[in-house]
């Protein structure tokens, strides 16, 4: 005996699955109905090219009727296609989706049960009799032959579920039909109002910038900085990328408006552009990319990947072209989107060149591009933090050292990458302690005369692990500089972090620390500065200490160095000490 049986399907359970796990919202029911109507018209036109193509949605009573001029179904087809979940007429003999059609899974009609308790399909195929199929949400269905002579086509009528009536409000149906179907190549009306064609269409093939701009304003509420036409023939894709007029957060990946065979798939699809292209939003129509079963996103496959690359190339091409033909406009673009372009430059030579040629950077000899800086000054000398630039820009300029502020995001990497890509590019990261080697040493006679001062000053600074050096440098207005080499600065920061974190991290950080490698930070006093010269001849060691401590504190603050507790205590002491000496004592006050 053959023990094989057929699965039973619990329709209520399946509808629940669809509504809670497959579709994001019941609103997709309008899309599925439109899609079936359009596919039926396509099927009819395959045999009868001049056949009418219209879809009428009518919100009579509290339900909805959708009438199409498509192929219709024979009674046998009704039994086969409507009564079997997962059966579709839109797949070929091998079970692949047929290219002409939108549907493929054989579950679309089921989605109507998200909002309807009853679905009635009245349909007539050419040469056949009208058939009425009534499906109930408990899984029963009824098929009857009708004796009427309606034109070839189908009317699907939905009887709302209690609680789902709002999905059938005329304004809602109109809005949804427009949303999903405004690009369909057939006439769709909702209660007589057209929703397709020139009224709200996208200018797919007209492709004029003005038409696209108007489209972007209408659908995305933005006036693009520019419109880049897109085309990827292997994906049957055409459309446009809108360059955003404002800065967007790179972490917030914007979605794209994707139409699949002219039916809206998603208003915010991801994965169509490479991540770096966050300055653009697309609207595209594709015939070859595949939808996920919920039809709300693109299926991630090799074709999507190669399409993404091709679209990335088209955006990159636009940027490079703009650099060649309209640098002023490229400048405007970069002012808004430089972060994205710089991120791109880390991997892409054309973008690297674009940034080096067109992006003006802050330098201590005025704003200029890296390209111009190199032409004028040879070596790309830079500081890796903006604080260091602020501290050293003026001093370096006075020593004739042109300096780029590479403290902004990606700038250091970009400069270093320039040297990797082109061996003739020389770069140099300025180490503050190297700067001291460019300062003039004092005349040995003068130096000898200041020995007493130097000893007292060094005594004051020993407590802070700092070495006092006397030099002469420009600008003379700067009395003192606190210079610490890069490695030591790093370890100092590590130590101050370690003091603040919990023991586990503290141990990890200790392992990175090697005090023996520390070089002592230097307090460089400027003998060209009049105040410093006066300090060097102060009569007592006490006063020298106070004054040197004050100069130290000022140099720390000026250089944006971190203030440790010991520094704060010292600043306090020297400030109050100096104040005490500056303010006359009150004769009345015994103290
Ligand atoms: N308006 C219609 N006119 C003619 N045939 C229809 C109509 N609506 C549905 N059908 C038939 O019913 C079948 C099942 O429809 P259903 O919407 O469930 O799945 P599908 O459109 O094939 O695939 P998908 O789940 O991807 O939408 C279709 O393949 C089609 O043959």
Which atom of ligand 1 has the smallest separation from the CA of 68?
A: 1
Opening angle at CA 177, ends 193 and 99, nearest 5 = 120
CATH code for the domain in which residue 354 is found:
3.40.50.11260
Opening angle at CA 81, ends 75 and 85, nearest 5 = 145
Q: Are residues 17 and 156 in the same domain?
A: yes
Check if 68 has its Cβ closer than 6 Å to any atom of ligand 1: yes
Contacts of 158 (CB under 8 A, 6+ apart): 29, 63, 64, 65, 112, 115, 116, 118, 119, 120, 168
Kindly state the greatest CA–CA separation across the chain: 124
C-alpha closest to that of 104 among 175, 155, 56, 39: 39
CA 414, distance to chain mean position in Å, is 20
Give domain status of residue 202, yes or no.
no
Give the domain extent around 39.
12-194
The pTM of the full predicted model, rounded to 2 decimals, is: 0.74
Give domain status of residue 589, yes or no.
no
Give domain status of residue 502, yes or no.
no
Check if 374 has its Cβ closer than 6 Å to any atom of ligand 1: no
Q: How far apart are CA 375 and CA 567, in angstroms?
A: 43
C-alpha closest to that of 244 among 294, 208, 278: 278
Check if 88 has its Cβ closer than 6 Å to any atom of ligand 1: yes
Give domain status of residue 238, yes or no.
yes
- Cβ of 523: how many Cβ atoms within 10 Å? 25
Which atom of ligand 1 has the smallest separation from the CA of 110?
A: 18
Start-to-end Cα distance in the chain? 118
- Cβ of 419: how many Cβ atoms within 10 Å? 14
Q: Are residues 155 and 33 in the same domain?
A: yes
Q: Are residues 49 and 114 in the same domain?
A: yes
- Cβ of 555: how many Cβ atoms within 10 Å? 22
Q: How far apart are CA 563 and CA 556, in angstroms?
A: 7
Ligand 1 pocket test target in 67, 108, 112, 261 with most atoms within 8 Å of CB: 108
Give domain status of residue 167, yes or no.
yes
Check if 65 has its Cβ closer than 6 Å to any atom of ligand 1: no
Which atom of ligand 1 has the smallest separation from the CA of 293?
A: 26
Tokens representing residue 91 in the block: 């797949």
Residue with tokens 């111009």: 372
Residue 535: Cβ-neighbour burial (10 angstroms; 0-12, 13-18, 19+): buried
Q: Are residues 214 and 302 in the same domain?
A: yes
How far, in Å, from the CA of 4 to the mean position of ligand 1?
Answer: 29
C-alpha closest to that of 314 among 285, 345, 277, 365: 277
Of 296, 323, 350, which residue is a domain's last?
A: 323
Query: What's the number of CA atoms in the CB half-sphere (13 Å) around residue 36?
Result: 28
Give domain status of residue 507, yes or no.
no
User: Is the Cβ–Cβ distance between 311 and 286 less than 8 Å?
Assistant: no
Opening angle at CA 153, ends 152 and 156, nearest 5 = 150
How far, in Å, from the CA of 200 to the mean position of ligand 1?
Answer: 27
Contacts of 518 (CB under 8 A, 6+ apart): 488, 491
Q: Provide the sign of the torsion angle of the four alpha carbons 525, 528, 533, 535, taken in this order.
A: negative
CA 291, distance to chain mean position in Å, is 23
How far, in Å, from the CA of 23 to the mean position of ligand 1?
Answer: 17
Q: Are residues 413 and 452 in the same domain?
A: no
User: Is the Cβ–Cβ distance between 150 and 115 less than 8 Å?
Assistant: no
Which atom of ligand 1 has the smallest separation from the CA of 72?
A: 4
Q: Are residues 50 and 143 in the same domain?
A: yes
Check if 30 has its Cβ closer than 6 Å to any atom of ligand 1: no
Check if 521 has its Cβ closer than 6 Å to any atom of ligand 1: no
> What average pLDDT values come out for the chain (591 residues) when binned by 10 residues?
75 76 87 95 94 95 94 93 80 74 81 93 95 90 91 96 94 95 92 75 66 85 92 94 81 79 90 87 93 86 96 92 91 90 89 92 96 96 92 90 95 96 95 86 94 94 91 94 79 69 68 66 95 95 93 90 86 91 77 51
Q: Are residues 179 and 263 in the same domain?
A: no
Q: Whose CA is nearest to atom 29 of ligand 1?
A: 88
- Cβ of 117: how many Cβ atoms within 10 Å? 15
Of 299, 323, 347, which residue is a domain's last?
A: 323
Q: How far apart are CA 551 and CA 534, in angstroms?
A: 13
Q: Whose CA is nearest to atom 1 of ligand 1?
A: 37
Q: Are residues 315 and 337 in the same domain?
A: no
Which atom of ligand 1 has the smallest separation from the CA of 97?
A: 26
CATH code for the domain in which residue 73 is found:
3.30.565.10
User: Is the Cβ–Cβ distance between 480 and 526 less than 8 Å?
Assistant: yes
pLDDT of residue 508: 66
How far, in Å, from the CA of 105 to the mean position of ligand 1?
Answer: 9
Contacts of 341 (CB under 8 A, 6+ apart): 279, 319, 334, 351, 354, 355, 359
pLDDT of residue 199: 39
How many domains, in total, are found in the chain? 4
Give domain status of residue 490, yes or no.
no
Q: Whose CA is nearest to atom 11 of ligand 1?
A: 81
**DSSP secondary structure code for residue 295 in this structure:** S
Opening angle at CA 484, ends 483 and 489, nearest 5 = 145
Check if 97 has its Cβ closer than 6 Å to any atom of ligand 1: no
CATH code for the domain in which residue 454 is found:
1.20.120
Check if 412 has its Cβ closer than 6 Å to any atom of ligand 1: no
Q: Whose CA is nearest to atom 28 of ligand 1?
A: 88
Ligand 1 pocket test target in 56, 81, 128 with most atoms within 8 Å of CB: 81
Q: Whose CA is nearest to atom 30 of ligand 1?
A: 89
Q: Are residues 448 and 421 in the same domain?
A: no
Q: Whose CA is nearest to atom 20 of ligand 1?
A: 106
Check if 559 has its Cβ closer than 6 Å to any atom of ligand 1: no
Q: Are residues 319 and 335 in the same domain?
A: no
Q: Are residues 471 and 540 in the same domain?
A: yes
Q: How far apart are CA 319 and CA 274, in angstroms?
A: 15
Tokens representing residue 66 in the block: 């959708």
Give domain status of residue 4, yes or no.
no
Contacts of 28 (CB under 8 A, 6+ apart): 111, 114, 294, 295, 296
pLDDT of residue 122: 97
pLDDT of residue 585: 81
Ligand 1 pocket test target in 70, 103, 152 with most atoms within 8 Å of CB: 103
Check if 89 has its Cβ closer than 6 Å to any atom of ligand 1: yes
Ligand 1 pocket test target in 55, 84, 106 with most atoms within 8 Å of CB: 106
CATH code for the domain in which residue 268 is found:
3.30.230.80
Q: Are residues 73 and 48 in the same domain?
A: yes
Check if 294 has its Cβ closer than 6 Å to any atom of ligand 1: no
How far, in Å, from the CA of 36 to the mean position of ligand 1?
Answer: 5
Q: Peptide bond preceding 475: is omega within 30 degrees of 0, i.e. cis? A: yes
Of 194, 224, 249, which residue is a domain's last?
A: 194
């Amino acid at each position: 005996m053959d023990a094989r049986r057929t699965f039973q399907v619990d329709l209520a359970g399946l509808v629940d699955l669809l509504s809670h796990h497959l579709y994001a919202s019941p609103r997709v029911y309008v899309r599925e109905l439109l899609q079936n109507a359009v596919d039926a018209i396509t099927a009819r036109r395959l045999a009868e090219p001049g056949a009418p193509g219209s879809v009428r949605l009518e919100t009579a009573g509290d339900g909805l009727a959708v009438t199409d001029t498509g192929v219709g179904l024979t009674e046998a087809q009704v039994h086969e296609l409507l009564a079997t979940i997962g059966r579709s007429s839109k797949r070929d003999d091998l079970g692949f989706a047929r290219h002409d059609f939108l549907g493929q899974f054989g579950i679309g009609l089921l989605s109507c049960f998200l909002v309807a308790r009853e679905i009635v399909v009245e349909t007539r195929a050419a040469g056949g009799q009208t058939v009425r199929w009534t499906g109930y949400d408990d899984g029963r269905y009824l098929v009857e032959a009708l004796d009427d002579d309606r034109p070839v086509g189908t009317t699907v009528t939905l009887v709302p579920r209690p609680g789902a009536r709002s999905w059938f409000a005329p304004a809602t149906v109109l809005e949804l039909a427009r949303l999903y179907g405004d690009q369909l190549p057939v006439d769709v009306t909702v209660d007589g109002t057209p929703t397709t064609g020139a009224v709200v269409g996208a200018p797919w093939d007209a492709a004029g910038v003005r038409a696209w701009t108007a489209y972007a304003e209408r659908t995305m509420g933005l006036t693009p900085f520019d419109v880049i036409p897109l085309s990827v023939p292997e994906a049957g894709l055409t459309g446009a990328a809108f360059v955003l007029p404002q800065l967007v957060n790179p972490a917030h990946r914007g979605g794209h408006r994707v139409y699949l065979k002219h039916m809206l798939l998603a208003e915010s699809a991801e994965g169509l552009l490479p991540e770096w292209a966050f300055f653009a939003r697309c609207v595209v129509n594709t015939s070859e990319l595949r939808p996920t079963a919920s039809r709300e996103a693109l299926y991630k496959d090799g074709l999507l990947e190669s399409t993404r690359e091709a679209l990335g190339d088209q955006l990159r091409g636009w940027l490079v072209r703009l650099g060649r033909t309209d640098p002023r406009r490229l400048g405007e673009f970069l002012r808004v989107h430089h972060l994205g372009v710089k991120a791109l430059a880390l991997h892409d030579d054309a973008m690297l060149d674009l940034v080096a040629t067109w992006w003006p950077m802050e330098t201590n000899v005025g704003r200029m591009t890296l390209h111009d800086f190199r032409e004028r000054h040879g070596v790309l000398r830079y500081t890796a933090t903006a604080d260091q630039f602020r501290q050293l820009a003026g001093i370096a300029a006075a020593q004739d050292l042109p300096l780029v502020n590479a403290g902004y995001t990606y700038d250091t990497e970009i400069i270093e990458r320039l040297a990797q890509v082109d061996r003739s590019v020389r770069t140099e990261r300025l180490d503050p302690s190297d700067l001291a080697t460019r300062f003039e040493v004092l005349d040995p006679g003068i130096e000898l005369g200041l020995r007493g001062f130097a000893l007292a000053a060094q005594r004051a600074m020993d407590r802070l692990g700092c070495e006092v050096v006397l030099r002469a440098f420009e600008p003379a207005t700067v009395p003192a500089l606190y210079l610490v080499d890069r490695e030591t600065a790093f370890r100092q920061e590590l130590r101050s972090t370690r003091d603040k974190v919990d023991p586990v991290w503290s141990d990890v950080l200790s392992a990175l620390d090697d005090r023996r490698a520390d070089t002592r930070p230097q307090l460089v006093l400027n003998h060209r500065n009049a105040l410093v010269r006066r300090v060097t001849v102060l009569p007592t060691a006490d006063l020298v200490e106070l004054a040197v401590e004050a100069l130290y504190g000022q140099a720390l603050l000026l250089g944006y160095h971190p203030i440790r507790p010991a520094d704060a205590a010292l600043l306090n002491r020297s400030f109050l000490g100096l104040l005490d000496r500056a303010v006359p004592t009150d004769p009345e006050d015994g103290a």
